[in-house]
Amino acid sequence: MNSSRIMSLLESRLLDVWIGSLLEFQPLLDIPLGRLVPQRQPLGQRLLCLPLFRFPLKLLAHQEHQLASSSPLSPDDLARYPSPALPMGTAPLLNQALQAHGLASCPYAGTDYDQERWEGVARDGHSLSYGPPQRLSEIGLRWQLQALPYDLGISDVAAVVGHRDVLSDPSFATAFQTLLAALRTSPLGSCSQIQWLL
């Protein structure tokens, strides 16, 4: 779901809490994503976020892709292959960061995340895609994709975002600790490229 839609749902109180990426919400934060600390952070005037973990976005290709055995890679190398770009306005900061590397060259068929059309597009052996490190094992088995030896320099933070009154409620603290325990015992908890912030 695109960032403006999520913000609209939160501001209209159709959502009280949301868990997701902060990349597109950077302009609302007082601190850059790379310096977020494990505490409640204001996100605009009515919302707070609780950063969970930081992770790098990985460039993906099929194991038999021509670039899989090439190194070093340049943006010019990447620009020769199609890669998904979200529709205009859906994730402008992500698209801009990807385009700086010669990526995000083909329209993505949808506005909501769909792994078949996002990471899965690279299974054709020609296209490139991107994904979080915690999904590398799964997509490697499912589509024979791997991370390419290229640093996109795109780091994101997963967080709980919600209304100040909800995230400040004592009952939220109990639910949050349960969520945190479940995340740490999931495959996410054993991913070495995840930097936990709590």
- At residue 108, does pLDDT exceed 80? no
Answer yes or no: are the C-beta atoms of 50 and 160 closer than 8 Å.
yes
CATH class, range 58-147 = alpha beta
Query: What pLDDT, in 10s, does the model give residues 3-46?
Result: 788 888 998 999 999 999 999 999 889 889 888 888 899 998 88
pTM: 0.89
CB atoms within 10 A of CB 52: 23
**187 preceded by cis ω (within 30°)?**
no
Mean pLDDT of the chain: 90
Query: What whole-number distance in Å separates Cα of residue 158 and Cα of residue 49?
Result: 10
Task: Give CA–CA dist 145/167, Å, rounded.
Answer: 38
User: Which residues, in sequence order, are bridge partners of residue 195?
Assistant: 54
SS3 for 5-61, per residue?
HHHHHHHCCCCCEEEEECHHHHHHCCCCHHHCCCCCEEECCCEEEEEEEEEECEEEE
Domain ranges within the chain, ordered by starting residue: 3-55+155-196, 58-147
Q: Which tens digit of pLDDT belongs to each residue from 145-158?
A: 999 999 999 999 99
Q: In this structure, are residues 58 and 140 in contact, taking their beta carbons and an 8 Å threshold?
A: no
With bands split at pLDDT 50, 70 and 90, how would you rate the model's confidence at 1?
low
